[in-house]
């Protein structure tokens, strides 16, 4: 197996920084603004099954569950350290959320398992190849008519954001993001529509919210156009 396909970047790029993740994101990424907005646009209904992909320390996962207590919310992350912190926060919050350790590009779930998948600040951690694989996996595990909701870097909307994005591109996998290619990459995975629903100035560059949909009729069993093997 080609190990370069399994590259993995921890929450703040270096494992030893993970314990600082919550304050850093709160102060640099306008978390208090964009996460509640993302949760609202997810449009959860009672009985929905919702996957928080790359859930990190579970700040968003908890907001999702609180927004719709009658839903079943699952958080998945590849990092055991961050998942331990997520479990602590969920216990403190007193909400019922389950967590799975796993890779976004090889999801441990059957086809058509979820009504909604949310990916906040995850995709820019994945190589181009793994981004595509993760999106195909997301398409596979979504039910027909299900939706994917993303918060991640997008095309810079000001000169300042363009300058900042150059630094972040050097550190993380943001090529498709800052070039504005993500809507096309998402559609390539089989999603029938993508729409940008929000845009924020942050310390690390332009952050956009995206909604994408899986058609009601659904693709066949293999699901997704560039399916994983
Ligand atoms: C920047 S953090 C975002 C955390 C959270 N979603 C948020 O919005 O605050 C990115 C998370 O993605 C996880 N991650 C990175 N690569 C991954 C992969 N291939 N599969 C699953 N999780 C991954 C990291 O461990 C980290 O917790």
DSSP 9-52: --TTSSGGGGGGHHHHHHHHS-HHHHHHHHHHHH---TT-EEEE
CA of 209 to the centre of ligand 1 (A): 16
Distance (Å, whole) CA 150 – CA 211: 6
> Whose C-alpha lies nearest to ligand 1, atom 26?
11
Is the Cβ atom of 120 under 6 angstroms away from ligand 1? Answer: yes
- What pLDDT score was predicted for residue 190? 97
Distance (Å, whole) CA 194 – CA 214: 10
- What pLDDT score was predicted for residue 68? 98
Strand, helix or coil at 4? helix
Residue 38 half-sphere exposure toward CB, CA atoms < 13 A: 32
- What pLDDT score was predicted for residue 1? 38
Taking the CA of residue 130 as reference, the ligand 1 atom at the shortest distance is 19
Is the Cβ atom of 29 under 6 angstroms away from ligand 1? Answer: no
- What pLDDT score was predicted for residue 225? 58
Is the Cβ atom of 75 under 6 angstroms away from ligand 1? Answer: no
Distance (Å, whole) CA 51 – CA 80: 17
> Whose C-alpha lies nearest to ligand 1, atom 8?
120
Contact 58/92 with Cβ under 8 angstroms? no
Contact 35/67 with Cβ under 8 angstroms? no
- What pLDDT score was predicted for residue 97? 98
Is the Cβ atom of 119 under 6 angstroms away from ligand 1? Answer: no
Q: Which positions of the chain have pLDDT values less than 70?
A: 1-8, 10-17, 218-229
Is the Cβ atom of 79 under 6 angstroms away from ligand 1? Answer: yes
Q: Please state which CATH number belongs to domain 3-213.
A: 3.40.50.150
- What pLDDT score was predicted for residue 163? 85
- What pLDDT score was predicted for residue 165? 85
> Whose C-alpha lies nearest to ligand 1, atom 2?
11
Contact 144/21 with Cβ under 8 angstroms? no
- What pLDDT score was predicted for residue 4? 41
Helices 80-93 and 59-67 pack at an angle, to 10 degrees, of 40
- Can you say how many angstroms the Cα of residue 154 is from the centroid of all Cα atoms in its chain? 14
- What pLDDT score was predicted for residue 169? 78
Among residues 141, 142, 167, the alpha carbon closest in space to that of 153 is found at 167
- What pLDDT score was predicted for residue 170? 74
Domain range annotation of the chain: 3-213
């Amino acid at each position: 197996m080609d190990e370069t396909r399994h590259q993995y970047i921890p929450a703040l790029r270096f494992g030893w920084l993970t314990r600082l993740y919550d304050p850093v994101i709160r102060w640099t990424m306008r978390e208090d603004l964009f996460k509640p907005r993302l949760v609202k646009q997810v449009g959860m209904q009672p009985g929905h099954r919702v996957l928080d992909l790359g859930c990190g320390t579970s700040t968003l996962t908890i907001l999702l569950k609180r927004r719709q207590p009658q839903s079943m919310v699952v958080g998945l992350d590849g990092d055991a350290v961050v998942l331990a912190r997520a479990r602590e926060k969920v216990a403190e919050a007193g909400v019922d959320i389950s967590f799975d350790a796993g890779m976004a590009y090889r999801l441990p779930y059957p086809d058509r398992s979820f009504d909604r998948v949310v990916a906040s600040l995850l995709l820019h951690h994945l190589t181009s190849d793994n981004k595509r694989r993760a999106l195909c996996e997301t398409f596979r595990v979504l039910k027909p008519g299900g939706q994917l909701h993303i918060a991640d870097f997008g095309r810079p909307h000001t000169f300042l954001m363009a300058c900042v994005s150059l630094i972040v591109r050097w550190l993380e996998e943001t090529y498709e993001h800052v070039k504005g290619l993500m809507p096309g990459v998402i559609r390539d995975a089989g999603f029938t529509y993508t729409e940008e629903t929000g845009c924020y100035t942050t310390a690390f560059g332009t952050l956009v919210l995206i909604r994408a949909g899986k058609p009601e009729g659904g693709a066949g069993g293999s699901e997704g156009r560039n399916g994983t093997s």
